[in-house]
Amino acid sequence: MKLHAEKLFNDPRVKEATKLLEDALSEHKSALKKVKAPDKELKISYKKLIDSFSQVRGGNLWYPYLGSGLGNGALVELLDGSVKYDFISGIGVHYFGHSNLDTIAPSINAAISDILIEGNLQQNNDSYLLSELFLELSGMDHCFLSSSGAMANENALKIAFQARFPAKRILAFEKAFAGRTLALSSITDKPAFRKGLPQAINVDYLPFFDPEKEEESLEKALKVLNSHLARYPNDHALLIFEPVQGEGGFYPGDERFFKTLFKRVKEEGILIFSDEVQTFGRLDTPFGFQSFHLEEFVDLATIGKLSLVTATLFKDKIKPGPGLLSQTFTGATSLIKASLLLMSKLKNEGFFGKNGKNFRINELFKKEFQKLEKQFPDKIKGPFGIGAMVAFTPFDGSKEKAVAFGQKLFEAGVISFIAGDHPTRIRFLPPVGVITEDDIFKAVEIIAETFKNSP
């Protein structure tokens, strides 16, 4: 051991302290075994806290959620003493569940590291190793780390615009969600999300794949694409797509649909950008574009959410010039170290493939939802989605009813979120890394009970 740092990280006292913390967490988390209603006394002060927090942040929280700081896999304890199934995992972040013992060692390592947060001027070896891992998983040439999906997407847009200068426009799909910066709000296809904002980028939309009208939807998209290309010749820098539309309502794409459009797009020299902030890690391959066999087309891809550290991955031929990309923060040291460990698990522990855990979990959800559909034929449609992205439409798909059902489900002990408009669906991004069959059965019982109590 030549480095003093190696001596520190391998110090037996550090190992012993880590073991003690693992034992303590293991013992306390095991107390959380099942869904539990709020504690009557805590409930009153909790309500006040939630109201104050909403006041402080200048808008209501979506759910009256304040975590206690402890969970157990798919279960999480809230500050009102309730225990709930977390099937949305902070919108897809905590794929390896709550209070995961594996993350103690990297977190302790980070806590005794010299810096709390890494960034462009100061990165430790873990940043390099994580970048290499993302390159290996993606097959891309370069990886630039960042600290939010939006920032990863901004970096991708900048790389593409610079490479395709002076092209000014982009192509995107209807119902796209790309993030919430000023530029990304121009792409995200939701008027409410850009109300009052100037249009920062000119976007030409294409209709997305419709599984009920495969041929027709392809023909229509191709026609619209050709008309945009004719109207603005040589003026599109890139086409952005989500392999499975996430916020738009959990709509998977289709290999032939994508390939046909992408061939045409490539004829014009336009770059193709796969926004995988939501899909990364959730299908039968690490990246969604691999699942649809689009490797030859994709020039840029971004990841986020479950990767904990976000990244922009790109081909060598569009390498940006010096000065285009830089950031004070790329990620907290603890997150970079935890991501390195968890992404290695994701790669090696049976999550991918047609029989991998992502797809097996989907099958289980599907079977259970089909039973629910039989039980409540007027109240539920679905299931929809793919892999570790599962959704159903409650009632008539109206936003009001879906939101109200989600709130009821939360009270009953299952945390979900909505996606899409007309119809609005209830969606799950479950913690596949830790979820058990029993968790799914119990959560579905709660969903059934909630449907029973919802006229």
Ligand X SMILES: Cc1ncc(COP(=O)(O)O)c(C=O)c1O
Is position 177 an interface residue for ligand X (rule: CB under 6 A)?
Answer: yes
CB-closest chain residue to ligand X: 149
Minimum separation from the CB atom of position 57 to ligand X (A)? 16
Element housing 17 (H / E): helix 12-29
| Residue in 246, 288, 320, 382 binding ligand X, rule: CB under 6 A | 246
Is position 247 an interface residue for ligand X (rule: CB under 6 A)?
Answer: yes
The helix/strand/coil state of 129 is: helix
Cβ–Cβ < 8 Å for 235, 269 = no
Is position 154 an interface residue for ligand X (rule: CB under 6 A)?
Answer: no
Minimum separation from the CB atom of position 180 to ligand X (A)? 6
Is position 179 an interface residue for ligand X (rule: CB under 6 A)?
Answer: yes
Residues 291-310 that bind ligand X (CB under 6 A): 304
Measured on CA atoms in the order 7, 12, 17, 22, is the torsion positive or negative? positive
Minimum separation from the CB atom of position 302 to ligand X (A)? 7
Binding mask of the shown chain, residues 7 to 36, with x at each position contacting ligand X by CB under 6 A: ------------------------------
Is position 148 an interface residue for ligand X (rule: CB under 6 A)?
Answer: yes
Instruction: Decide whether 177 or 392 has the Cβ nearer to ligand X.
Output: 177
Is position 50 an interface residue for ligand X (rule: CB under 6 A)?
Answer: no
Is position 433 an interface residue for ligand X (rule: CB under 6 A)?
Answer: no
Is position 153 an interface residue for ligand X (rule: CB under 6 A)?
Answer: yes
Listed ranges 138-146, 221-229, 241-249, 399-407: which one lies at the site for ligand X (CB under 6 A):
241-249
DSSP string, 63-115: S---EEEEEEBTEEEETTS-EEEESSHHHHT-TT-BS-GGGHHHHHHHHTSS-
- Measured distance CA(230)–CA(225) in Å, rounded: 9
Is position 149 an interface residue for ligand X (rule: CB under 6 A)?
Answer: yes
Binding mask of the shown chain, residues 266 to 295, with x at each position contacting ligand X by CB under 6 A: ---------x-xx-----------------
Is position 242 an interface residue for ligand X (rule: CB under 6 A)?
Answer: yes
Backbone angles phi, psi at 307, to 5 degrees: -75, -10
Listed ranges 79-87, 114-122, 147-155, 259-267: which one lies at the site for ligand X (CB under 6 A):
147-155
Minimum separation from the CB atom of position 177 to ligand X (A)? 5
- Measured distance CA(131)–CA(188) in Å, rounded: 27
Instruction: Decide whether 242 or 368 has the Cβ nearer to ligand X.
Output: 242
- Measured distance CA(28)–CA(151) in Å, rounded: 37
- Measured distance CA(157)–CA(238) in Å, rounded: 8
* DSSP state, residue 201: S
Is position 150 an interface residue for ligand X (rule: CB under 6 A)?
Answer: yes
Q: Would you tell me how many other CB atoms lie within 10 Å of the CB of residue 383?
A: 21
Instruction: Decide whether 127 or 155 has the Cβ nearer to ligand X.
Output: 155
Minimum separation from the CB atom of position 94 to ligand X (A)? 14
Listed ranges 130-138, 145-153, 199-207, 320-328: which one lies at the site for ligand X (CB under 6 A):
145-153
Binding mask of the shown chain, residues 100 to 139, with x at each position contacting ligand X by CB under 6 A: ----------------------------------------
Please write down the HEC assignment for all residues of 230-271. HHCCCCEEEEEECCEECCCCCEECCHHHHHHHHHHHHHCCCE
Cβ–Cβ < 8 Å for 28, 104 = no
Cβ–Cβ < 8 Å for 412, 404 = no
Listed ranges 130-138, 143-151, 281-289, 290-298: which one lies at the site for ligand X (CB under 6 A):
143-151
Is position 229 an interface residue for ligand X (rule: CB under 6 A)?
Answer: no
- Measured distance CA(36)–CA(56) in Å, rounded: 28
- Measured distance CA(158)–CA(318) in Å, rounded: 11
Which phi-psi region, left, alpha or beta, contains residue 29 (left: φ > 0; alpha: ψ -120 to 50)?
A: alpha
Task: With both helix axes pointing from N to C terminus, report the angle between 214-231 and 255-267 in degrees, rounded to the nearest 10.
Answer: 20
Catalog residues that contact ligand X under the rule CB under 6 A.
Answer: 91, 148-150, 153, 177-179, 242, 246-247, 275, 277-278, 304
